[in-house]
Structure 1
Amino acid sequence: MRGMRAPIGDFASAAPAAEADAFTGPAAEAVRGWSGDVPADQLLYVDTDPEKADTAVFIENYGADLHETSANCVVVAAKRGGERTLAACVVLSRTRVDVNGAVRRQLGARKASFAPADTAVAETGMEYGGITPFGLPEGWPVLVDRAVTELPWTLLGSGRRRGKLIVPGRALAGLPGAVVMEQLGVPATG
């Protein structure tokens, strides 16, 4: 695995994710089979401490610039007429997902809410706190806030609490099932 300096954050080194031995699971399989518009060698992996995976602690330890460039991926459950749809939503980490507005409308649901942690983990095959839009089950909608796609680089989970992905924001628009939306992420309150 060849090491290089990460384009954002303060990490010991970064490497093309497809070459990172520590990068495993469904997200790793998706990255290793990547065929999007962004070259695969621009999808980077950085090794991190799993005890520092939560956003605020992570930013404190790995670089203040990550406050502006980190994105969160959350799983939502939308219901309509007894049918349940699971979807992933990717927003800047300093915002929150507009579940009851933008998500509900986009998915044509009567009701939408954050999926329970055990459901998100079981359905994605990823660790809670590390869920990423790479490697999600086939057919899932992946709703991505336009603000994330406009970042030169963004930091996301790797599917595990250990390690993160750093990718050009525009790579997210090329994910299977991706729908780029305006104002999917709204200002966090409180």
Structure 2
Amino acid sequence: MAEESTDLRSIPFETADGSTATLADYGSDVLLIVNVASRCGLAPQYEQLEELQRTYGDRGLQVVGFPCNQFMGQEPGSMEEILEYCSTTWGVTFPVNAKVRVNGSHAAPLYKALKRAKDAEGKRGPILWNFEKFVLTPEGTVHRFRPPVKPDDPAIVRVIEDALPR
């Protein structure tokens, strides 16, 4: 289910090197925003995220990762360890930003806003686990996909392809 949100691209977040960025820094790209964790059973989704980046990056897709250690401590490492793991284990080339909290009173502002989007069943609210995915179109529409939905699922690919320039 799609949700309109016009201000997501202006919400600041911390990058892996400690600087501040916004989603607007990616221009009008279609964004696939994912909370990631290296020690999660869903970590093989990194491979599919990278494949989407390689397949559609030249056409205007940008995968954006946000490590999160809120689910059973599955992202305990330092940023250096996380980046090393992502690049050597999965060949990740997309940006992996600073660790965030996705739920609770100290959730990152970007995730506070993303959680307002509804999933395919019309449910909004807390992030359920690692690898919850949000596709943000250039028009500001948010499509939410829960963790078990793989990045290369036809529903996600369709949303991405429909939002990319022709």
What interval of TM-score do these two structures reach, taking the shorter chain for normalisation?
Answer: 0.3 to 0.5
Please identify the structure whose Cα radius of gyration is greater: 1
Answer 1 or 2: higher relative contact order, Cα 8 Å, separation at least 6: 2
Please report the TM-score for the alignment, with normalisation by the length of structure 1: 0.30
Please report the TM-score for the alignment, with normalisation by the length of structure 2: 0.33
